[in-house]
Structures are given as structure tokens and as C-alpha cells.
Amino acid sequence: MSRMVGATSIQPRILSSFVGDRFIQSAQPLHQLFRYNPGSKHLSMQLSRTLSGLTNLLFNRRNLDGLSNKRKRLRPGKLSPRRPVPDHIPRPSYVKSRKPPGIASGPEVHDEKGIDCMRASGRLAAQVLEYAGTLVKPGIKTDEIDQAVHQMIIDNGAYPSPLGYGGFPKSVCTSVNECICHGIPDSRALEDGDIVNIDVTVYLNGYHGDTSTTFLCGNVDDEARKLVQVTKECLYKAISICAPGVEFKKIGKTIHDHADNYRYGVVQQFVGHGVGRVFHADPVILHYRNNDAGRMVLNQTFTIEPMLTIGSINPIMWDDNWTVVTEDGSLSAQFEHTILITQDGAEILTQC
Ligand code: MF3
Ligand code: CO
Ligand code: CO
């Protein structure tokens, strides 16, 4: 695995849905953020990766039946041609520029007008995601989900944020089974028993709203259902502790503690992020236990988007430079909301 953040990697975390991490300035193409780069990292990083490997071995269930009997490993399918967006729909600046988008944009804190715009883009993202979820059935191709999502977003005068983001070829991410995140919709038909995360981001009136849910396709076994359920609980527990003045690191602790109770792993390489006028802004939101500084402020918007695994937490990236899967092929689930910090807590903007 020379090209990956995978098992051997010393590479520190990558913004989730990314954007690099604080040690990597984004002069590089996004996909290079995932690559092993000898000599550029500190020993402390190597140490922490090693420890995380150890944690994995000791506490997760990787040796049970991560890849059980029936389920076939996910394989890339074929991509359909790029879908056009009508000229009258405003694009985010990264679409044309071909420059890799970075995360060096400061936190997203809004005035009243900005909050209204965030509510509108959050609501649209949630509605699109809800609709996409109704399409999840055995036999539908993930490309057909992309088609439907794309159409609904442009019908509402918005731009599908993933399309052209760092070269991403489609309008939504569809991450099936062992895919941790950033799955590219393709010709693969969903199968009975699959779990699939659909991650919708829309750019409406200059503001992004970002949300994802892991859906069950047909008859899903109890082991997978449990993972999906606990991942969702992690997101809601984390949201429940958010308020002005609260330390961001409390999010990681809340999620990690809950995942530990079920011996699930928490993926570290992909993180939540500020979101608003910029798709991936400060701060970086870590989903695992950490000691980072920083507190939430009133009227700030950011995402929380934990990824939990049954087995290994280490990611492998496919040759498409996007699709991220668990190294052992074991299942991964994710949920994401965009939230607004209010006087008394947090408002979920991406809720129907
Ligand atoms: N929506 C993802 C996130 O949660 C980002 C997807 S970027 C893409 O941040 F290019 F992969 F689409
Ligand atoms: Co996100
Ligand atoms: Co997202």
C-alpha cells in the first residue's frame, strides 16, 4: 500500500470529508493528502499511528468475522458521463479553478441573514437526502441515485457541491458496506443486505449544507444494523453536548466513549469541518478522543460526521483516488449533520 493512508501510513488525519489536515497545506492535489510522504512527518505522528494500530488489535473485533461468509468485497463499477448543470446555477469557486480546495478559510460564524441562508441550504440537503433514501432498494444502481440527487438539486436552483470538488466526478457520495466515505456512484446495483451511506451537499445562495445517512438495503443482518444504529447514536449524542463555549474535544470524547461501549472502531483520518460559504472550513472536528484546543461560538456552523467500523479503523484508498474502504473489508457506517451553535445548544440544520 504505498499510495494510501492505510495501515502503514504515518499520514496524519485527513479532513473528511476532508481537506487535509493542519500539517498539510493544500498546494497538493487532494488525493495526495492521502499519500504516504516520508520525511514530512514527526515521530509523534508515527507513534500515534502505531498506537492506533494497537488499539485496533486489542479492542476492536477485527478477528471475529469482519468479512463474513456471503458478502463480496466491493469493486469499482463503471462511471456514467458527467452530468451537466444549467448555466444559471451559481457554482462554488472551486469548480472552475481546478485548484485543490483547501481548508484555510477560518471558522464560519454568521449574522442573521447568513443563518437564514444556512437554514435554507441545510433544509434542501436534508430533503434531497430523504428522497435519496427512498430509492435505496436491491437492484438500483448508485449511479441512478446520483442521477436523482443531481436532478432534485438543480431543480431547486442549487449546485451539487461534490461535482468537480477536487475533481470528484459525481454529485453525491455513495459509500457501500466497507466503504468508509467518498464512494463514487457507478454501475454497481445495490444488493439485498447492503448498507449504503448517501452523503448530500448542496450549494444554495452561496451556502453549503452537508448531511449523510447510512441506509439499509433490503434485509440487513443484525450485526450491520447494530453498527448503523450505534453510529447514529454517536452523532446525536455529540450534537447534544454542543453549545457556545463548549470545547470541540468533547465531541470526540462523546463519540469515542459510545463506540467503545460496543467495541466499534472510530475512523481517525476523516473529520468533520466548518461549513458555510466554504464547503470545508475551520475548525477540524475530530471524532475520536483528543486534546485539541478550541471552543464553539454562537452562530457558528460545522459538521459532525462520525465513521464507525466493526473491524479495522484503517483506510485504504482505491486507485480512483477517492473511494476509501476499510483495510480488512469490514463494515463501516457514517452519519452527518450540519449544525448551528445557538444560545442554548445546537440546532440541526439538515433535518427535514
Ligand atoms: N460531503 C463530504 C463531507 O462530508 C465531502 C465530499 S467531497 C467529495 O465533507 F468530493 F468527495 F464529494
Ligand atoms: Co462533511
Ligand atoms: Co458530507
Domain ranges of the chain: 3-23+48-61+94-348
Collapsing DSSP to helix, strand or coil, 304 comes out as: strand
Is residue 46 pLDDT above 60, yes or no? Answer: no
State which fold the 3-23+48-61+94-348 domain adopts: Creatine Amidinohydrolase (3.90.230)
One-letter amino acid of 160: P
The Cβ of residue 139 has, within 10 Å, a number of other Cβ atoms equal to 11
Q: From CA 14, how far away is CA 26, in angstroms rounded?
A: 11
pLDDT, tens digit, for every residue of 66-80? 445 578 999 999 999
| Ligand 2 ion: Cβ-proximal residues, 5 Å cutoff | 17, 210, 303
CA atoms within 13 A on the CB side of 27: 2
Look at ligand 1, atom 8, and give the residue with the nearest C-alpha.
162
- Specify the DSSP class assigned to residue 300: B
Q: Any known ligand binding at 108?
A: no
Residue 68: its pLDDT value, please?
Answer: 54
* Adjacent-strand bridge partners of 215: 196
Ligand nearest to the CA of 317: 1
Determine if ligand 1 sits within 6 Å of the CB of residue 16: yes
Task: Classify residue 176 by its DSSP letter.
Answer: E
Find the mean pLDDT for residues 262-266.
98
C-alpha 288/C-alpha 49 separation (Å) is 13
Sign of CA dihedral 285, 58, 63, 34: positive
Q: Tell me the average pLDDT across 21-35.
A: 32
Contact indicator for 61, 263 with CB cutoff of 8 Å = yes
**Who's near 51: CB < 8 A, 6+ residues apart?**
none
- Is the minimum distance from the CB of 146 to ligand 1 under 6 angstroms? no
Q: What is the pTM of this model?
A: 0.86
188-208 pLDDT per residue, tens: 999 999 999 999 999 999 999
Instruction: Render pLDDT for 268-291 as a digit per residue (tens, 0 to 9).
Output: 999 999 999 999 999 999 999 999
Number of neighbouring beta carbons within 10 Å of residue 57: 11
Tell me whether residue 305 is annotated as binding.
yes
Question: Is the beta carbon of 165 within 6 A of some atom in ligand 1?
Answer: yes
User: Is 197 exposed, middle or buried, given 0-12, 13-18 or 19+ CB atoms closer than 10 A?
Assistant: buried
Q: Is the CB of 210 under 6 A from ligand 1?
A: yes
- Could you tell me if residue 206 is left (phi over 0), alpha (psi between -120 and 50 degrees) or otherwise beta? left
| Atom of ligand 1 minimally distant from the CA of 18 | 9
Burial class (CB in 10 A: 0-12, 13-18, 19+), 28: middle
CA atoms within 13 A on the CB side of 221: 9
Predicted confidence (pLDDT) per residue in 305-335, tens digit: 999 999 999 999 999 999 999 999 999 999 9
The sign one gets for the Cα dihedral 312, 139, 186, 212 is negative
